[in-house]
Amino acid sequence: MNNVPDEEQVGDNQIEEAAETHAGGDQSISKSANNKYENVDTVADNNTLDGLSELEGWSVDTYAARVHYQGESDRYSIEFYAPSNCVLYWKVKGDGETAVPVGRMTVPDPLRTRIRSDLADAGIDPAVEDRTL
């Protein structure tokens, strides 16, 4: 099953050494207490979500946070995704079960301002609200 000659195979010690010293580009890897390697950026992303979890109305999942707002006639679900550092807006249909993604330019300015304020209160750069996918 392994077609790599013995002299070219990498041992566990070499993998550990490389992982413990790797810090390339925008990512770095660290060794956790249970000897698993994890992307430090993912850990930072999860910590970022903690700030949103403390704000009224926000619920947090593993990699995202969500809040719901209702205007005069429209309801929205807003999601912040930590790994990609972006905000998505969903317009919720009348049944409350169906939502469709909408462009941020169609979202009322007061709601966008509120989301930027929430991001800032959570310690997240509010400019990510305007980030396109």
For residue range 26-36, list pLDDT tens digits in order: 433 333 344 33
pLDDT of residue 46: 56
pLDDT of residue 100: 95
Q: Please report, as a single letter, which amino acid is at residue 29.
A: I
**Residues near 52 by Cβ (< 8 Å), separated by ≥ 6?**
58, 60, 65, 67, 80, 118, 119, 122, 124
pLDDT of residue 80: 96
pLDDT of residue 95: 82
For residue range 33-70, list pLDDT tens digits in order: 443 333 434 444 556 788 999 999 999 998 999 999 98
The model's pTM: 0.65
